[in-house]
Structure 1
Amino acid sequence: MNKTELMEIIKNGENAYIEFKEENIKPKNLAEEFVAFSNSEGGTVLIGVSDDGNIVGVSDENIEEKIMNICRNNCIPNIIPTYEEINIDEMKVVVVNITKGISKPYYTTDNKYYIRVGTTKRIATREELMRLFEANGSIHFDISPVLNTSIKDLNMDVIRDYFFKYNTFDLYEEDKETVKRILINADILKEENNQVVCSVGGLLIFGNRPENKLPQNGISFAHFNGNEITDELIDKKVILGRLQDIAEQALVILRNNIKSPSKIKELKRDEKEEYPSIVLREAIVNSLVHRNYSIQGSKIRIFMFNDRIEIHSPGKLPNTVTIEKMKIGVSYARNPFLVKYMENMRYIDQLGRGIPMIMKSMKDLGAKEPLLYEIGEEFVIKIYTSGGLGGAH
Structure 2
Amino acid sequence: MKFNGFKEESQHLEFKKELTEKLEKEIIAFLNAKDGGEVIIGVDDTGEVIGVDDADALQLKIKDKLKHNITPSTMGLFDIVLLQQEKKTLIKVIVASGSEKPYYLSKMGMSPKGCFIRLGSASEPMPSEMMETLFATRVRDSIGNITSRYQDLTFEQLKIYYNESSYTLNDQFANNLELQTKEKEYNYAGYLLADRNGCSIKIGKYSGIDRVNLIENEEFGHCCLVKATKFVLDKLSIENRTFTQITAKERIERKMLDPVALREAVINAIIHNDFSNEIPPKFELFSDRLEITSAGKLPEGFSLDEFFEGYSIPRNKELMRIFRDLDMVEQMGSGITRILQAYPKSIYRFTNNFIRITMPYATGFIEEQGIAMQATPEATPEATPEATPEASSQAHKVLLFCQTAKSRNEIKAHLGLKDNEHVRKSILSPLIESGQLQLTIPDKPTSPKQMFYTVGIKK
TM-score interval for Structure 1 and Structure 2 normalised by the shorter chain: 0.5 to 0.7
Supply the RMSD in Å over aligned alpha carbons.
3.5
Matched, 1:279 2:276: no
Aligned to 2:280: 299
Distance 1:153 1:267, change over 3 A: farther
Whole-Å separation in 2 of the counterparts to 1:134 and 1:269: 60
Aligned to 2:154: 154
Structure 2 unaligned regions, length at least 5: 1-98, 101-133, 372-459
Distance 1:381 1:149, change over 3 A: same
Are 2:148 and 2:191, in contact at CA under 8 Å, matched by a contact in 1?
no
Whole-Å separation in 2 of the counterparts to 1:342 and 1:372: 23
Output the amino acid matched with 1:143.
G
3-state SS in 2 of match to 1:222: strand
How do residues 1-393 of structure 1 correspond to structure 2 at under 5 angstroms?
137-139=138-140, 141-150=142-151, 152-156=152-156, 158-159=158-159, 162=162, 165=165, 169=168, 171=170, 179=171, 181-192=172-183, 196-205=184-193, 207-211=194-198, 217-230=199-212, 232-240=213-221, 241-263=223-245, 270-296=252-278, 298-362=279-343, 370-388=346-364, 389=366, 391=369
Are 1:272 and 1:387, in contact at CA under 8 Å, matched by a contact in 2?
no
TM-superposition CA deviations, 1:17-44 (whole Å, max 9, x none):
xxxxxxxxxxxxxxxxxxxxxxxxxxxx
Whole-Å separation in 1 of the counterparts to 2:164 and 2:169: 5
TM-superposition CA deviations, 1:296-322 (whole Å, max 9, x none):
3x2211111222211110111111323
The alpha-carbon deviation at position 263 of structure 1 amounts to: 4.2
Distance 1:147 1:261, change over 3 A: closer
TM-superposition CA deviations, 1:364-388 (whole Å, max 9, x none):
xxxx655212234111111122235
Distance 1:323 1:382, change over 3 A: farther
Whole-Å separation in 1 of the counterparts to 2:197 and 2:254: 37
Distance 1:267 1:325, change over 3 A: closer
Are 1:134 and 1:141, in contact at CA under 8 Å, matched by a contact in 2?
no
Whole-Å separation in 1 of the counterparts to 2:228 and 2:240: 18
Are 1:220 and 1:239, in contact at CA under 8 Å, matched by a contact in 2?
yes
The alpha-carbon deviation at position 136 of structure 1 amounts to: 5.7
Whole-Å separation in 2 of the counterparts to 1:170 and 1:257: 35
Whole-Å separation in 1 of the counterparts to 2:209 and 2:148: 42
Output the amino acid matched with 1:380.
R
The alpha-carbon deviation at position 283 of structure 1 amounts to: 0.7
TM-superposition CA deviations, 1:48-105 (whole Å, max 9, x none):
xxxxxxxxxxxxxxxxxxxxxxxxxxxxxxxxxxxxxxxxxxxxxxxxxxxxxxx99x
Distance 1:187 1:163, change over 3 A: farther
Whole-Å separation in 2 of the counterparts to 1:377 and 1:292: 9
TM-score w.r.t. length of structure 1? 0.53
Output the amino acid matched with 1:371.
I
Are 2:240 and 2:255, in contact at CA under 8 Å, matched by a contact in 1?
no
3-state SS in 1 of match to 2:181: strand
Are 1:369 and 1:383, in contact at CA under 8 Å, matched by a contact in 2?
no
Are 2:148 and 2:188, in contact at CA under 8 Å, matched by a contact in 1?
no
3-state SS in 1 of match to 2:329: coil
Output the amino acid matched with 1:184.
N
Distance 1:370 1:185, change over 3 A: same
Structure 1 range deviating more: 382-391 or 324-333 = 382-391
TM-superposition CA deviations, 1:93-129 (whole Å, max 9, x none):
xxxxxxxxxx99xxxxxxxxxxxxxxxxxxxxxxxxx
Are 1:301 and 1:312, in contact at CA under 8 Å, matched by a contact in 2?
yes
Distance 1:134 1:249, change over 3 A: farther
Are 1:149 and 1:197, in contact at CA under 8 Å, matched by a contact in 2?
no
Whole-Å separation in 2 of the counterparts to 1:369 and 1:182: 39
Output the amino acid matched with 2:195.
N
Distance 1:155 1:269, change over 3 A: farther
Distance 1:261 1:316, change over 3 A: same
The alpha-carbon deviation at position 244 of structure 1 amounts to: 1.8
Are 1:372 and 1:379, in contact at CA under 8 Å, matched by a contact in 2?
yes
Whole-Å separation in 1 of the counterparts to 2:338 and 2:289: 17
Distance 1:166 1:307, change over 3 A: same
Structure 1 unaligned regions, length at least 5: 1-102, 105-132, 172-178, 212-216, 363-367
Whole-Å separation in 1 of the counterparts to 2:354 and 2:169: 41
Output the amino acid matched with 1:139.
R
Q: How many aligned positions are there?
A: 238
Aligned to 1:80: none
TM-superposition CA deviations, 1:310-341 (whole Å, max 9, x none):
11101111113233222111121111111111
Aligned to 1:51: none
Identity of aligned residues (%): 20
TM-superposition CA deviations, 1:161-199 (whole Å, max 9, x none):
6279565x563xxxxxxx2x552243223353xxx4312
Output the amino acid matched with 1:146.
T
The alpha-carbon deviation at position 355 of structure 1 amounts to: 1.3
Whole-Å separation in 2 of the counterparts to 1:135 and 1:304: 43
